[in-house]
């Protein structure tokens, strides 16, 4: 069995909710046109939960995820993740916080095409300058093995199937041992069988203590989560 190289200690969990959105609004402006994507969202997620977020296209699902990851900022309201008000952080501090605390898996993988699978899996550690280059490579290799791709480290994304690329993306999301894994339609570009395999990877990560939130249009995959949050017209319905 592989031993994970020690780069950093996992974040200490508290009894408080890991994620707390209070009165969150988000308005997008294009010229004189405004669109209110979120209309006062209150949402709490405990550490260790596995939560699926569902709703019609344009309902605000991805915008909520962007609030939680700090990719976007609220127009009003507060966003607390791990007892930190991330909506108050400056851009540099926010980028550093995101790199250390959140792993994000996107629908279209977003692997760098000129880097190998191993190099892609190392990227968050490179940006955060965690450990030595050798430590980073060993951890990245461990994470590739964790997602069942221990033999493809030297391959480019173009040499991998869609499912394999998404597994590399998950290995990359695990690079800094984040407490929170966010998936924005992570199975939306995969066939049903491969999507089910991706879900099982998320379930394994959740069973190891990580909090997992994912957006999905697949109601079957949503129903396998501990809790389903439904978003419609920028508000939480359930």
Mind listing the pLDDT tens digit for each residue in 62-108? 999 999 999 999 999 999 999 999 999 999 999 989 988 999 998 88
Residues 60 and 37: beta-carbon distance below 8 Å: yes
The per-residue pLDDT for range 166-205, each reduced to its tens digit, is: 999 999 999 999 999 999 888 888 888 888 888 999 999 9
CB 200 within 8 A of CB 226: no
* Alpha-carbon gap, residue 85 to 95, rounded angstroms: 14
Q: Which long-range contacts (CB under 8 A, 24 or more apart) does 43-46 make?
A: 43/19, 43/229, 43/236, 44/17, 44/19, 44/20, 45/17, 45/18, 45/19, 45/20, 45/211, 45/213, 46/17, 46/18, 46/211
pLDDT, position 8: 46
- Domain range summary for the chain, segments of one domain joined by +: 49-56+91-236
pLDDT at residue 232 in the model: 94
What pLDDT, on the 0 to 100 scale, is given for residue 1?
43
* pLDDT tens digit sequence for 122-133: 999 998 888 899
pLDDT at 15: 54
Q: Is the pLDDT confidence value at 10 over 50?
A: no
pLDDT at residue 210 greater than cutoff 80: yes
Count CB-CB contacts under 10 A for residue 223: 11
Report the C-alpha gap between 89 and 201 in whole angstroms.
Answer: 32
Contact 166, 105 (CB under 8 A): yes
Q: How many CB atoms lie within 10 A of CB 230?
A: 16
For residues 171 and 136, the answer to whether their CB atoms sit within 8 Å is no
- Mean pLDDT along residues 1-21: 59
Fold of 49-56+91-236: Rossmann fold (3.40.50)
pLDDT tens-place string over residues 133-158 = 999 999 999 999 999 999 999 999 99
pLDDT band of 12, cuts 50, 70, 90: very low
pLDDT of residue 14: 43
- Please say whether the beta carbons of 42 and 21 come within 8 A: yes
Contact 156, 97 (CB under 8 A): no
What does the alpha-carbon distance between residue 72 and residue 98 come to, in Å, rounded to a whole number? Answer: 12
Using pLDDT thresholds of 50, 70 and 90, give the confidence band for residue 2.
very low
How many other C-beta atoms lie within 10 A of the C-beta of residue 148?
Answer: 14
Token digits for 167? 């597994």
Q: What is the pLDDT of residues 20-59, one digit of tens each?
A: 999 999 999 988 899 999 999 999 999 999 999 999 999 9
CA angle at 124 for the pair 121 and 224, rounded to the nearest 5°: 70
Cα–Cα distance measured from residue 22 to residue 20, given in angstroms and rounded to the nearest whole number: 6
């Amino acid at each position: 069995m592989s031993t994970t190289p020690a780069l950093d200690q996992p974040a200490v969990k508290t009894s408080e909710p890991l994620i707390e959105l209070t009165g969150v609004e988000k308005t997008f402006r294009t010229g004189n046109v405004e669109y209110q994507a979120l209309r006062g969202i209150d949402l709490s997620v405990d550490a260790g939960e596995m939560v699926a977020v569902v709703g019609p296209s344009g309902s605000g699902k991805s915008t909520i995820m962007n609030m939680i990851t700090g990719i976007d900022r609220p127009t009003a309201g507060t966003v607390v993740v791990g007892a930190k008000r991330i909506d108050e952080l400056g851009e540099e501090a926010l980028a550093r916080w995101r790199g250390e605390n959140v792993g994000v898996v996107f629908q279209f993988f977003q692997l760098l095409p000129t880097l190998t699978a191993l190099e892609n899996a190392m990227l968050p550690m490179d940006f955060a300058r965690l450990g030595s280059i050798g430590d980073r490579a060993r951890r990245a290799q461990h994470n590739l093995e964790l997602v069942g791709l221990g033999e493809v480290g030297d391959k480019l994304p173009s040499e991998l199937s869609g499912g394999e690329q998404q597994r590399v993306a998950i290995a990359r999301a695990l690079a800094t041992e984040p407490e929170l894994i966010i998936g924005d339609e992570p199975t939306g570009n995969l066939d049903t069988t491969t999507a089910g395999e991706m879900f099982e990877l998320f379930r394994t990560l959740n069973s190891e203590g990580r909090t997992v939130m994912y957006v999905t249009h697949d109601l079957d995959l949503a129903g396998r989560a501990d809790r389903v949050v439904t978003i419609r017209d920028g508000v939480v319905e359930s």
